[in-house]
Amino acid sequence: MAKNKTDKANKGEKTETGAQDAGSLPLFYKNPTPLDAKAHGELGLKKDFGFKFTDGVNAVPVNLIEMPQICHFYPIAFSPDGNATPVAILGLRDNENLFLRKDGGWEDAYIPAYIRRYPFIFSELPGGDQLTLCVDHNDSVVEEKGKQPFFDKEGKPTELAQNALEFCKSYHAAAQQTTEFSKTLIEKDLLVEREAQINVAGNQRINFSGFKIIDEQKLAQLADKDFLELREKGWLPFIYAHLFSGAQWQRLSQLLSTQMDKNAS
């Protein structure tokens, strides 16, 4: 989700937004490399590198299990492609993250797991089903002979690397559940395209489009057997979390208006 239109409130123009195009690499990652004790024996994570890597990104993927937390801070939408990936909306304009502070910190809000996982990620090696822990070999987040090494002097993973491995395991499992959830929403035809029209400071309006949401009317008209299936799978709380998250569009509007007022002063 990367495109939108800011205009005067009376023009009513709009543009379509598309899913984040990260090329062949996952969002944020530039050079994910399998961690190896021999090759990376002295490599470590930089301290306090912050969240500057999220600059210019206005939506990030979220997992099913974190939706009850996400819904209190961000609108939850679904990508318009065939995957219907749930995402947290971070900004209302192109290349804008309203939650990233100038000092590289994060606004007082729940931080999505996709962001907290960085710079680590799982990679499935070609020709096998084994998942390997990788780190984004990026000078902005890792360094040689750093104070937070990935391996100790004996070549064993440090606590940092072990914690990263466990986090990635949990994330991977949650992502698989999320994929099944999204697939079911598509199969039951519950998703519809929507556009958010938001008024901000200076009598301007932003038309944010190119995303999908769960249609409440379609959900209410769902056949009993299909609704019971959603309940049996334990997905109803997450569906309602998504619906409740719609109130956060106003939060984004307030954040943007505050930012625009600061820039104007």
Domain ranges of the chain: 5-264
Least confident of 17-31, 34-48, 148-162, 241-255: 17-31
139 contacts: CB under 8 Å, gap ≥ 6: none
Give the pLDDT of residue 242.
Answer: 98
* Beta-sheet strands, E only, within the chain: 5-8, 32-34, 43-45, 59-61, 76-78, 86-89, 120-124, 131-136, 142-144, 191-200, 204-214
What global pTM score does this model have? 0.86
Identity of the residue numbered 92: L
CA 91 – CA 75 distance, rounded (Å): 10
- Residue 140 scores a pLDDT above 70: yes
Give the pLDDT of residue 208.
Answer: 83
- Residue 13 scores a pLDDT above 50: no
Q: pLDDT confidence of 127, banded at 50, 70, 90?
A: low
**Residue 81 DSSP symbol:** S
Three-state DSSP class for residue 22: coil
Residues of the chain with pLDDT > 70: what percent? 88
Three-state DSSP class for residue 204: strand
Average pLDDT value for residue range 121-142:
83
Closest by Cα among 39, 29, 262 to 150: 39
Query: How confident is the model over 85-112, as pLDDT tens digits?
Result: 999 999 998 889 999 999 999 999 999 9
- Residue 14 scores a pLDDT above 60: no
Give the pLDDT of residue 265.
Answer: 63
| Encoded tokens for 15 | 């543009």
- Residue 233 scores a pLDDT above 50: yes
| Encoded tokens for 62 | 């979220």
- What are residue 124's DSSP bridge partners? 131
CA 36 – CA 50 distance, rounded (Å): 25
Query: How confident is the model over 37-79, as pLDDT tens digits?
Result: 999 999 999 988 899 999 999 999 999 999 999 999 999 999 9
- Residue 11 scores a pLDDT above 50: no
Whether omega before 119 lies within 30 degrees of 0, making that bond cis, reads yes
Give the pLDDT of residue 199.
Answer: 78
CA 230 – CA 245 distance, rounded (Å): 19
Three-state DSSP class for residue 126: coil
| Encoded tokens for 195 | 């556009």
Give the pLDDT of residue 128.
Answer: 57
**Residue 157 DSSP symbol:** B
Q: What are phi and psi of 207, to 5 degrees?
A: -100, 110
What DSSP element (H or E) covers 261? helix 248-264
